Amino acid sequence: MAHRVVIALGGNALGKNLPEQMIATRETAVAITDLIEEGYEVVIAHGNGPQVGMIQNAMSELVRSDPDQYVTVPLSVCVAMSQGYIGYDLQNAMREEMLDRGIDVGVATVLTQVEVDPEDPAFLHPTKPIGPFMTKEEAEKLIAERNYDVIEDAGRGYRRVVASPQPVSIIEIQTIKSLVDTNHVVIACGGGGIPVFRTNGHHLKGAAAVIDKDFAAERLAEEVEADTLIILTAVEKAAVHFGKPDQRDLDDLSADEAQKYIDEGEFAPGSMLPKVEAAVRFVRSRPGRRTLITLLEKARDGISGHTGTMIHG
């Protein structure tokens, strides 16, 4: 059986608008096809922070412009829209890159629902950044006009935050596994998945939330029985004392070492913290599993052990 990897792409790495996204997905396709060319089975998950914020803002403006014709679009529907919007560009870029290299492998986007617990305490404490970065003045305006929850995001500006519950299960997992098992590259759990919870009978109801894509990717990696989880981010390696004179990059560490750094508060919430937490969760789920955290363009070098932060059991 081929080595199976799940790759988690950050929403910010996919661009903030359509022209940026089309360029970004082509660059992403090159890096991922490098792994496919070396024989890896690949499943792709991705974030949607900028995209889902853009979609919801656009929908809100429609309602504001003509409330008699348009109705408010739930956040879960906006997540679904972002899955199609991103998946469309990404699967086409992947298909083109693979065919250019003579790789005849199917690629498909699965509109994916992810179950969450309606009693998850995350609904009482919104923490997940979505939408574009804002100035303090822009943030204060949104708080006053729309009653949004807003935080300062790792020194990069202000962003709206929404609830980010933990993923419980992936509704379409059998479809995803069938595609992977028949040699398809699958794009799934986009934006962390469409958050839903079970109600009476078999009905699934959308939740007003965005699931963190790193935790959704970890859940996906477990359920497709992946060997490696690759979390691609804006830095080549995770680090302790980040941004300080004594910053130290992390190369290879055990799950216990990573957990120690988590407990000491070394990783920023909403940034590196969920990545390392997801990494630890995955490697502890079964012996022999590992997680790589690195830059997109370093994915092939990282999985070969030449760079990045590798976390193992």
pLDDT tens-digit readout, 90-101: 999 999 999 999
141 tagged catalytic:
no
Least confident interval from 9-18, 75-84, 208-217, 296-305: 9-18
Would you say residue 6 has pLDDT above 80?
Answer: yes
> pTM (2 decimals)?
0.90
260 tagged catalytic:
no
Of residues 132 and 84, more confidence is placed in 84
CATH 3.55.40.20 describes domain 1-11+35-113+170-226:
no
76's torsion region: left (phi>0), alpha (psi -120 to 50) or beta? alpha
Longest dimension (CA), the chain: 58
pLDDT of residue 133: 80
pLDDT of residue 41: 96
11 tagged catalytic:
yes
Q: Which residue in the list 16, 128, 237, 298 is annotated as catalytic?
A: 128
53 tagged catalytic:
no
* Residue ranges covered by each domain of the chain: 1-11+35-113+170-226, 230-313
Binning pLDDT at 50, 70 and 90, where does residue 290 land? very high
C-alpha atoms less than 13 angstroms from C-alpha of 249 in its C-beta half-sphere: 10
Q: What is the overall mean pLDDT for the chain?
A: 92
CA atoms of 77 and 65, how far apart (whole Å): 20
136 tagged catalytic:
no
Residue 192's H or E segment, with its range, is none
Residue 198's H or E segment, with its range, is strand 194-198
pLDDT tens-digit readout, 148-160: 888 887 677 898 8
Q: Which residue in the list 10, 12, 298, 302 is annotated as catalytic?
A: 12
Binning pLDDT at 50, 70 and 90, where does residue 83 land? very high
pLDDT of residue 1: 59
